[in-house]
Structure 1
C-alpha cells in the first residue's frame, strides 16, 4: 500500500536535520508499522498484520525517524513482472509508503523516494511498480499510470451468460466442484503461474504470497461467509481449467432473498471454463447482487453477458510503472510493429535516464535494441509517460493529445504509438 504523505508543492529534497533516514531493523518493525497505520488512519486485523510482517523484506525497508519515533516509511518487495512479449522481469514492488501527519511538507517522502530508487537501480531492477491509495503524488517521482481495472456490480437476475459461441460441447466437458480454498491452493497457484507471461502487469507469485490470496480474517467479512472456492475441471482427466474464490451474504428484503456474492478472484485457462465459472457465480440461490473488483479492462465477461449495461462497470486506476533503467526496460519487451525512433527522455529523479535513446525493433518476433545516442530526437517525453505506455495499455498518441509527448519528426508518433501498444491489456491481480 502506498500513500501520498507529502502533497504537491513540498519543496524540500531532504528531511530536516533533526530527522534521520535509515534502513529498518527487524526489532523496530512493530513501531514502524504502527506509524504506517497512523498515516493511513486504520488498524488492520491481527491476522493481516502478521502476514505483512512475515512477508516484509526488512533489508528493503526504510524508515525516517524523529529521535526514537518513526515518522516515515517505504519498502519494496522483490517481484518479477510480465511485460509485452512474455518476458517476466525483475521488478521492485513499492509499498508501505507513509508519513506521519505531523511531519508533512518536510521533505520526508522525497527523501524516501530518492533513496529507494537509488537502491533499486543498484540492485539492477529496471522497473518499479506501485498501487497508490491516492495517485496524485507519484508522477513527480516518475511513476506513470500503466494499468486500469474494472469493478462490476451485477443485478444477477437481469443478465445471463451467453457462452463462448459454438462451444457447448466444450462447456459440457467441464465439471464444477466446490473445494476447500487452502487444500486446493497448490493447484490454483500452478494455474495462476501459467497465466502470468501472456498478461503484461501480472506478477509471478513468490513462495509465501499464496497466503495473501487465502487471507480471510473474520473481522473483515462484513457479514459474509468464510472464503469459498469452486473449481472448473475437465471431466475426462480432472485437469484444473479454472477456479473462482468468493463469499456470500444472505439478506432479506420485503420477504424476499436479496443476498450478495462478493467475488475475490476468477482465473481460467480457457474461454469455456471462464464462462462456466461466471455462470455459476450468477446463479447462486438466495442472492440478488454479484460484486467483483479488479477485473482487467478486457475481461471476457464484458462480452459474455446478455446485457453489459447491467454490469455497471466502474473504471479506476490500478498499476503505476516506473522505468528505473530506461535502456534495459525498453529492450526487454517486444513491440507490436517495427519501430525505429529516438526518444528524448527527461528524468529528474534518475539522472542516468536523461538523454536520447535510440529504440529499434523489427517487430514482435524479434528482440529490441535501445542504446544512448546523439542523433536528433523524434519524440520528447518524460520517464512518467514512458511508464504509462510501457505495458501497452495507454498509448503514446493519447499522451500526445494531452500535451505530454511532443512529436519532433513528422510520422514518428503514429509509428511509435502503434509499436508500443499490445493486444492484451495490462492487469495487476496480485495484491501487495
Structure 2
C-alpha cells in the first residue's frame, strides 16, 4: 500500500501523470494487455480523452531514471441513475501493471489512491468495465448491468412491426455528416435508462472510430437515419461483411454498433432495414439492453442465439450521497449495516428513506434491517440486480423479516440498466 507516495519496497513511487509521459504510460498499458500496439485512430482518441490530473502512474527506480510499471486513470462522467438524475461518476480506465511487477500490491495501491482522489473530488460513484470479473470485487465494485448479444438468422426470423413503421423515411448518410443530429437523439434517451452516460467532448467522436484493421473484412462504418417530418428520430450505425460459400450461397453479416430511436416505429423501421438487406444471413447485436424491444418483435427468438454477459461495475464511493442521488420505485425505510474494508468511511449503519420523489440516507444508531457489503449495494444500485437474488446467494443477510423484499422492490428499475459503450 502507499506510504507518502511510495509503494512496495520503497523503490516504487506513485504519483500523477505528467502529460509528457503519456506515450510511455500508455505503452505500459498496452504491454499489460499483451503488448499489441493500438491503431493510430484509437490511440489518438485515448490521448485526447485522457485527463492527466486524474491519471496515476507508478515508477520503479531512482528519481530521474525511473521506469513506468503501472498506471490507472478515470474520466469525469455523469451516469444516469433510477429517477433520471445524472450523477458525477469516475469512469475508471486504463488500469494496467507491467507483467514484471505483478503480485506486488501495485493494483491495490492504485485503487486505494484513486478512490481517495475520487472522494476528494466529491464524486459519489466510481464505475468501470472489468477485463476480468474476478478482479474488482475486492475493491468494492459490484456487477450492476448486463449486455445482451445476439445473432439473428434473417432467413428464419420475421419481424412484427408497429403501426406507423411504413411512414418512417430512411436514408443512408456518411456517419460524420449527421453526428450532431444522432447525438441529439442519444441525449434525449439518456435520462430514461439507468447506466447511460451523458456524452461530452470528446466522447461524441467515440462512435465514429473506425480503423480498417479492426473491421475484419467488413465495410467501413455505415449510418442509417430514420426521419419523420424532416427530423432525425433514430439512427443505426453498422458494418456489412459479405461472405459466400463455395456454392455461392450468401452468408453475409450485419454487425450492428449502435441503434437508438425516439419511438417504436422508428426503432422498427431501422431494425427491419437491417434484417431485410440483400445477401445477408445474420444480424449481429454486440451490446444491447437485456430488455431490448426486438425480442418482443421477432417470430422465433430461439433463432436469435441470445447471450448475456456482465457489463458495468459500480462502486459507491460515498454511500450516503450515492443512495440519496437516486429515487425508489416504492416507499422504502430501511437500515443497512454496510461492510466496506477498503473505504472504511462507508462502514456502519445507514438509514435510507425514500420514494419516487427523492431520498435521504444518513448515519444512524438504530438496529440494522439488512446487512451487506458495499459490493452488493453497487450491484443493486442501478436496479438491474435484485437484493432478493443476492440474499438467495448468501451475499445479503436479512435482520428484520420482510426488509430485503421491501428494499429489493424499491431499488428496482422499470427499464433494465445498460451501458451503451465502453470506456
With normalisation by structure 2, the TM-score equals 0.96
Corresponding residue number in structure 1 for 2:300: 307
| Deviation string, structure 1 residues 329-386 (Cα, Å, up to 9, x no partner) | 101101011100000001111111111000011x21x211110000000000000000
1:428 aligns with 2:422: no
Please give the alpha-carbon distance, in whole angstroms, between the structure 1 residues aligned to 2:8 and 2:196: 35
CA distance in 2, matches of 1:413, 1:150: 28
2:136 corresponding residue in structure 1: 138
- Map Cα deviations across residues 28-85 of structure 1 (whole Å, 9 max, x no partner): 0000111100000132111111110011001100011112211111000000000000
Matched, 1:48 2:42: yes
Question: What is the CA distance between 1:295 and its match in structure 2?
Answer: 0.5
> 2: CA distance between counterparts of 1:403 and 1:14?
35
| Pair 1:328-2:321 in alignment | yes
- What does residue 22 of structure 2 align with? 29
Q: Determine whether 1:252 maps to 2:240.
A: no
Q: Deviations over 1:64-118 (max 9, x none)?
A: 1112211111000000000000101111000000111111110000000000000
1:150-299 paired onto structure 2 within 5 Å: 150-164=148-162, 167=163, 170-234=164-228, 237-253=229-245, 254-299=247-292
For 1:347 and 1:14, how far apart are their aligned partners in 2?
A: 22
Counterpart check, 1:59 vs 2:53: yes
Residue 15 of structure 1, CA deviation: 2.7
Trace 1:348-359 onto structure 2 (pairs within 5 A).
348-359=341-352
Say whether residues 1:400 and 2:391 are aligned partners.
Answer: yes
- State the alpha-carbon separation in 1 of the partners of residues 415 and 250 from structure 2: 39
Larger deviation, residues 306-315 vs 117-126: 306-315
Match runs of 1:68-147 below 5 Å:
68-147=66-145
Correspondence 1:9-24 to 2 at 5 A: 14-24=7-17
Does the 8 Å contact 1:23/1:61 carry over to 2? yes
SS in 1 for 2:327: coil
For these two proteins, the number of residue pairs brought into alignment is: 412
Structure 1, unpaired ranges of 5+: 1-12
1:169-190 Cα offsets, whole Å, 9 max, x none, are x112211111110010000001
Question: How much does 1:239 deviate?
Answer: 1.5
Shift in Å, 1:16: 2.8
Match for residue 418 of structure 1? 409
Q: Secondary structure, in 3 states, of the residue corresponding to 1:257? A: coil
CA contact (8 A) 2:76 2:88 kept: yes
d(CA) in 2 for partners of 1:339, 1:14: 43
Distance 1:28 1:352 in 2: 34
Q: Any idea what the Cα deviations from partners look like across 1:132-180, whole Å, max 9, x if unmatched?
A: 111101000000000000111111111111113xx2xx11221111111
2:3 equivalent in structure 1: none
**2:379 matched to 1:388?**
yes
Where do 4+ consecutive residues of structure 1 move more than 6 Å?
A: none
Q: How far did 1:14 drift? A: 4.3
Q: TM-score, normalised by structure 1?
A: 0.94
Cα contact 2:7–2:13 (8 A) shared by 1: no
SS at match of 1:375: coil
Q: 1:160·1:279 contact (CA, 8 Å) conserved in 2?
A: no
- The CA distance in 1 between the partners of 2:331 and 2:416, in whole Å, is 20
